Amino acid sequence: MTEWTWDYNPSAAYVTEGLPPGVVAEVERLTTELAALGPEAAKVSRPFDREGGLREFDLMRGRGFLSFLAVPRHRCVYVCNAT
């Protein structure tokens, strides 16, 4: 288990506005798993050729996307967008 956490950036209301409760639950479940990876979260999903920066992860079998930042100095995964 890592000491990493996750949070919404800029806020939960901004990121989840208009999303059904089931999608919000899936976003939070996936982000919890990304935080459990710790610094390895900076290598997960697209773009595949580099680590760090804004990452994009498929939601609901490709029906949506989750954009996130893994910030090692904060030990946090920030959810920036969910569509």
Residue in the block written with tokens 């459990």: 36
Q: What is the pLDDT of residues 44-74, one digit of tens each?
A: 877 777 777 888 888 877 788 899 999 999 9
The pLDDT of residue 1 is 57
Please check whether residue 68 is in contact with residue 79, taking contact to mean a CB–CB distance below 8 angstroms.
yes
Residue ranges covered by each domain of the chain: 5-82
* CATH class of the domain whose range is 5-82: alpha beta
Query: Cα angle vertex 37, ends 34, 31, to 5°?
Result: 10
- Which pLDDT band holds residue 21 (cuts at 50, 70, 90)? very high
The whole-model pTM stands at 0.86
With a cut of 70, say whether residue 80 has pLDDT above it.
Answer: yes
The percentage of the chain sitting over the pLDDT mark of 70, rounded to a whole number, equals 98
pLDDT of 49 reads: 75
CB 4 within 8 A of CB 44: no
